[in-house]
Amino acid sequence: MSQPEAALTRKAIKTDRLAFVASDTDEAQEACSRLSALYGNVAPKKADVIVALGGDGLMLQTLHSYMGTGTPIYGMNRGSVGFLMNEYREEDLPARLLGADITPIHPLNMEVIDRDGYSHAARAINEVSIWRQTSQAARLRISVDNRTRLEELICDGCLVATPAGSTAYNLSAHGPILPISAPLLALTPISPFRPRRWRGALLPNKARVDIDVLDDNKRPVSASADHTEIRNVVKVSIHEDSNVEGLMMFDSDHGWDERILAEMFRY
């Protein structure tokens, strides 16, 4: 989102009705009680802004729950990681919300066929990951937009990450960090054995990725969209759903672009 667009969105936002949701930890629950006493707490469906108190796991859960509703989510860190969260402060919360940048994100759709021929579907905000289920390495064939690009990838697995998810599992697997507004997806192998030197690909966010599991009886594979896992899969199809949008809010003095730059220069 450009700065003019962000500014217009900030002017349009209201902060009269806030909803607070919290993880189960004592720290998050205590913060929720204090903030509710200060600012009130309405039902999330009636809120102008939903404030999530916890870590990145809670932020993902909240984004999944309210994806497509048009209600922005503002996270404050009461958890262990907090890359998706803002600093926790109780004072002047409405003013912080009015000054925050709003970042739209689009989820990935994962469509799966399992060994028994059943179809499954799930959404991912961070990534869709394919992973071997046993000690045997997975054998995968990867196609992009109906064209086979890798006839055989022998590996622990692979993943397709959004810009929002590029600093999560994707980064741990040595994948690239993507700016939040980049129209890209990261296709990243996990512990590749053959071809050993293949380090993945950057794809347009319009691309469709199809992954066929080879020798699925001997080398079973599971597929996960964030926290939704399907086991014994034979085919996985992944594409961005541009028709569905979630809205994340970040303090303007420490927005997503600054977080990405800081992570890129971390050593």
Residue 80 is labelled as binding a ligand: no
Residue 267 is labelled as binding a ligand: no
- Paired tokens of 248: 């994340």
Active site residue 56: yes
The single-letter DSSP state of residue 177 is P
The identity of residue 157, as a single letter, is: G
Are 188 and 159 a contacting pair, CB within 8 Å? yes
Helix (H), strand (E) at residue 99: helix 93-99
The single-letter DSSP state of residue 126 is S
Residue at token pair 């997806």 = 185
Nearest partner of 248 among 24, 12, 6, judged by Cα = 6
Residue 126 is labelled as binding a ligand: yes
Distance in angstroms (rounded) separating the CA atoms of residues 5 and 102: 9
Residue 111 is labelled as binding a ligand: no
Are 59 and 67 a contacting pair, CB within 8 Å? no
Residue 127 is labelled as binding a ligand: yes
Burial of 226 (0-12, 13-18, 19+ CB in 10 A): buried
Residue 172 is labelled as binding a ligand: yes
Helix, strand, coil shares, percent, the chain, to 5: 25, 40, 40
- Catalytic residue from among 16, 24, 26, 56: 56
Are 109 and 123 a contacting pair, CB within 8 Å? yes
Residue 167 is labelled as binding a ligand: yes
Residue 56 is labelled as binding a ligand: yes
Are 74 and 18 a contacting pair, CB within 8 Å? no
Show which residues are catalytic: 56
Q: Which residues does the annotation place in the binding site for NAD(+)?
A: 56-57, 126-127, 156, 164, 167-172
User: Which residues are annotated as part of the binding site?
Assistant: 56-57, 126-127, 156, 164, 167-172
